[in-house]
C-alpha cells in the first residue's frame, strides 16, 4: 500500500480515470493498493477473473472495474466502471504522485552540494547532498538531482527531469523534459574505440555527445556511451531497463522498449516502437526497423526489416526458429532410424 499526504475525492477519481462512478457513500482516498492489502481509504483495481476471490473479499473503499462487470453479483461498495481498469488506475497513481511532488516549492539546495558559480538556478529545483554541478551546466525548472550525482560541464537537464542518486552525467550531454535516470547510471562516458597501429591499441578520441529526448526513463546501472563524432541518441518516449549497455553513435527510436542486460554495439539503429527482450545482443553498424520484436537471448547480426519478430542465435524469423527447435527434439529418434536404415542397407548388400 502506498499512502499520500493528499486525499482525492470520488468525483476527482471519476474525472481522472475517465470512467463512470457508481457510489454508495461519499469518501476521500489517500492510498492505492492491491486488492489484498487495501483498506477503506484505498483505491484498487480489478480486471482479471483469476483474482475474483481477492476482489470479492477486498476491503478497498473504491475499486476500478471493467465497464461490463455485472454489479448485481458483486459486493456493494464504490466502483468506477472503465474500459481498461489498470490504465485508469495508473492515471490516478500518476495524479497523486504529481500532486505529492508539488508539495516541494522553491529552491532546496543542500549545503554540501558543490555548484559552479556560472550555473543559474531556476525558481524550483531540488539538489540533495554531495551533488556536483560543473561549469556551464543548464538546469531547467523542477529538476531534482539526488545525492552524490555529478553533472559535468556544459550539460543540459530539461524541465521536471529527475536524476536519482549516484548518477554521472558526462560533459555536453543534453537531457530533455520529464526524463528519469535511476541510480548508478553513467551517461556520456567514452565509447569503446581503439585502432591497432602495428604496436599497440591506440585510443580513438570520443568527442561527440549523448542526447536523451523527452519522457525517456533509464533504469539502474545503465551505461550510454558518447559518440565518437556526432551524437548517441535516445528518442522521445523510449524506456530502458536496468543493466543495459548502449555503445557510441547508437540511435534508439521513439517509444522503444529495451529490457535488462541488452547490449547494443556501436553505430546501430533501433526503429520506433521496437522491443528488445532481455539479454538481446545487437552487433555494430546494423539497422533494425520499426515495430520489430526480438525475443530474449537472441543475437542479431544483420539488418532487420520493419515489423519482423525474431528469435534465437543467430536471430531468425520466430516461426521458423520454433520449427527448428521442434525438429531438434526429434533428432535422437531420427538418428536411431537412420542407423537402422544403414544397418538394413548393409545387410541387404551382402
Cβ atoms of residues 280 and 293 within 8 Å: no
Cβ atoms of residues 292 and 307 within 8 Å: yes
108-144 as b/e, with b when 16 or more CB fall inside 10 Å?
A: eeeeebebeeeeeeeebbbbbebbbbbeebbbbebbb
Cell numbers at 58, concatenated: 477486498
3-state secondary structure 65-117: EECCCCHHHCCCCEEEEECCHHHHHHHHHHHHHHHHHCCCCCEEECCCCEECC
Q: Which of 110, 116, 162, 248 is catalytic?
A: 248
Q: Is 242 helix (H, G, I), strand (E, B) or coil?
A: coil
Euclidean distance between CA atoms 10 and 92, whole angstroms: 11
Cell numbers at 128, concatenated: 540533495
Q: Is 6 a catalytic residue?
A: no
Cβ atoms of residues 184 and 223 within 8 Å: no
Which residues are marked as active site? 248
Amino acid at each position: 500500500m502506498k499512502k499520500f499526504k493528499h486525499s482525492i475525492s470520488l468525483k476527482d477519481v471519476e474525472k481522472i480515470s475517465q470512467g463512470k462512478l457508481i457510489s454508495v457513500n461519499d469518501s476521500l482516498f489517500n492510498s492505492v493498493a492491491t486488492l489484498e492489502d487495501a483498506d477503506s481509504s484505498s483505491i484498487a483495481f480489478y480486471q482479471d477473473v483469476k483474482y475474483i476471490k481477492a476482489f470479492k473479499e477486498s476491503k478497498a473503499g473504491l475499486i476500478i472495474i471493467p465497464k461490463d462487470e455485472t454489479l448485481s453479483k458483486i459486493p456493494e461498495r464504490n466502483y468506477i466502471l472503465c474500459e481498461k481498469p489498470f490504465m485508469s488506475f495508473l492515471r490516478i497513481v500518476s495524479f497523486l504522485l504529481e500532486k505529492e511532488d508539488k508539495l516541494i516549492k522553491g529552491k532546496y539546495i543542500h549545503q554540501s552540494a558543490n555548484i559552479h558559480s556560472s550555473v543559474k538556478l531556476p525558481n524550483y529545483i531540488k539538489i540533495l547532498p554531495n551533488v556536483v554541478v560543473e561549469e556551464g551546466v543548464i538546469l531547467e525548472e523542477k529538476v531534482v538531482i539526488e545525492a552524490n550525482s555529478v553533472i559535468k560541464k556544459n550539460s543540459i537537464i530539461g524541465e521536471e527531469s529527475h536524476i536519482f542518486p549516484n548518477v554521472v552525467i558526462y560533459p555536453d550531454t543534453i537531457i530533455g523534459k520529464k526524463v528519469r535516470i535511476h541510480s548508478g547510471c553513467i551517461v556520456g562516458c567514452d565509447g569503446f574505440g581503439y585502432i591497432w597501429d602495428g604496436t599497440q591499441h591506440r585510443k580513438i578520441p570520443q568527442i561527440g555527445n549523448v542526447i536523451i529526448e523527452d519522457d525517456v526513463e533509464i533504469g539502474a546501472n545503465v551505461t550510454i556511451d558518447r559518440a565518437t563524432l556526432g551524437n548517441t541518441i535516445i528518442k522521445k518516449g523510449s524506456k530502458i531497463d536496468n543493466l543495459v549497455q548502449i555503445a557510441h553513435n547508437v540511435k534508439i527510436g521513439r517509444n522503444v522498449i529495451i529490457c535488462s542486460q541488452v547490449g547494443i554495439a556501436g553505430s546501430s539503429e533501433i526503429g520506433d516502437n521496437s522491443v528488445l527482450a532481455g539479454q538481446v545482443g545487437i552487433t555494430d553498424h546494423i539497422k533494425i526497423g520499426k515495430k520489430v520484436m526480438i525475443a530474449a537471448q537472441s543475437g542479431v547480426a544483420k539488418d532487420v526489416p520493419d515489423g519482423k519478430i525474431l528469435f534465437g542465435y543467430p536471430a531468425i524469423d520466430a516461426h521458423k526458429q520454433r520449427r527448428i527447435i521442434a525438429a531438434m527434439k526429434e533428432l535422437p529418434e531420427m538418428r536411431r532410424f537412420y542407423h537402422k536404415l544403414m544397418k538394413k542397407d548393409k545387410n541387404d548388400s551382402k
